[in-house]
């Protein structure tokens, strides 16, 4: 999943970006509120990690703009402001979660997974579509009860398709959600990953909708 990190502290930003990347996220990092506002108007993000004390445009001002524009992307506030009043204000401005610095990177990743899961209408921590079972926290997948070895990018692609089971995702949407800024993407990279997933699972599990994109049909067990 693609995350927008909005943090002006270079040391902390480096650590969060690296930690979330290890958890399988693609992370775009901006260091002020105006840059974040532009990124949110042009990018497709699964969630936002937002500091409050930002230059040019504060975190709360950015959050208010975001919600006023009707953008429902999940937002987790990451801040040193730990009073009850600060937390209430952030949540009332439209934040979905609040994490106080210092924090554990594993907890941050887990909270983001929960936010994204709920935003996509999924209650359970594991995703199940047909005979495919995926555990985002453990970063493992099974097909017909047998473990499937997936590369980091294949896992991320399968995760995105399962989160959106029953919906067609365009090639552009998938590319935006899987790759962060600055990553070089070969022209046929997505097709190669789709091919590998079909070979490791089953060809019919990921359908090509000609001229539109890819679809993982919403099939339930039983």
Digit-by-digit pLDDT tens for the chain (222 residues) are 899 999 999 999 999 999 998 888 889 999 999 999 999 998 889 999 999 989 999 999 999 999 999 999 999 999 887 788 888 888 999 999 999 988 999 999 999 999 998 888 777 788 899 899 999 888 899 999 999 999 988 999 999 999 889 999 998 888 888 887 766 667 788 899 999 999 999 989 999 999 889 999 986 544
Say which CATH number the domain at 96 has. 3.40.50.2300
pLDDT at position 220 is 52
> Domain range holding 78?
2-119
Specify whether 9 is located in the same domain as 99. yes
Specify whether 33 is located in the same domain as 84. yes
Domain boundary (75, 94, 119) is at 119
pLDDT at position 222 is 41
Specify whether 102 is located in the same domain as 136. no
Specify whether 190 is located in the same domain as 148. yes
Domain boundary (87, 119, 151) is at 119
Specify whether 91 is located in the same domain as 166. no
pLDDT at position 184 is 65
Specify whether 25 is located in the same domain as 131. no
Tokens of 166: 């029953």
Q: Is residue 23 part of a domain?
A: yes
Chain position carrying tokens 């439209």: 94
Q: Is residue 141 part of a domain?
A: yes
Please state whether the predicted TM-score (pTM) of the whole model is above 0.85.
Answer: no
Tokens of 65: 């703009």
Number of folded domains that form the chain: 2
pLDDT at position 199 is 94
pLDDT at position 121 is 76
Q: Is residue 135 part of a domain?
A: yes
Tokens of 187: 């022209």
Q: Is residue 37 part of a domain?
A: yes
Specify whether 91 is located in the same domain as 177. no
């Amino acid at each position: 999943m693609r995350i927008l990190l909005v943090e002006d502290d270079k040391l902390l930003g480096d650590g969060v970006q690296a930690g979330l990347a290890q958890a399988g996220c693609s992370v775009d990092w901006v260091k002020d509120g105006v840059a974040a506002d532009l990124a949110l108007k042009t990018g497709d993000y699964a969630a936002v990690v937002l500091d409050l004390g930002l230059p040019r445009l504060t975190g709360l001002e950015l959050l208010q703009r975001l919600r006023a524009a009707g953008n429902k992307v999940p937002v987790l506030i990451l801040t040193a402001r730990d009073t009850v009043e600060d937390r209430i204000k952030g949540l009332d401005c439209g934040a979905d979660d609040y994490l106080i610095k210092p924090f554990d990177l594993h907890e941050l990743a887990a909270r983001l997974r929960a936010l994204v899961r709920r935003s996509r209408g999924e209650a359970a921590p594991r995703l199940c579509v047909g005979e495919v079972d995926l555990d985002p926290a453990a970063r493992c997948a099974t097909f017909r009860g047998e473990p499937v070895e997936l590369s980091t990018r294949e896992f991320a692609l399968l995760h995105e398709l399962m989160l959106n089971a029953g919906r067609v995702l365009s090639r552009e949407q998938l590319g935006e959600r899987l790759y962060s800024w600055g990553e070089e993407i070969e022209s046929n990279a997505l097709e190669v990953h789709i091919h590998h997933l079909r070979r490791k699972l089953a060809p019919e599990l990921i359908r090509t909708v000609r001229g539109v994109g890819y679809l993982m049909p919403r099939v339930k067990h039983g």
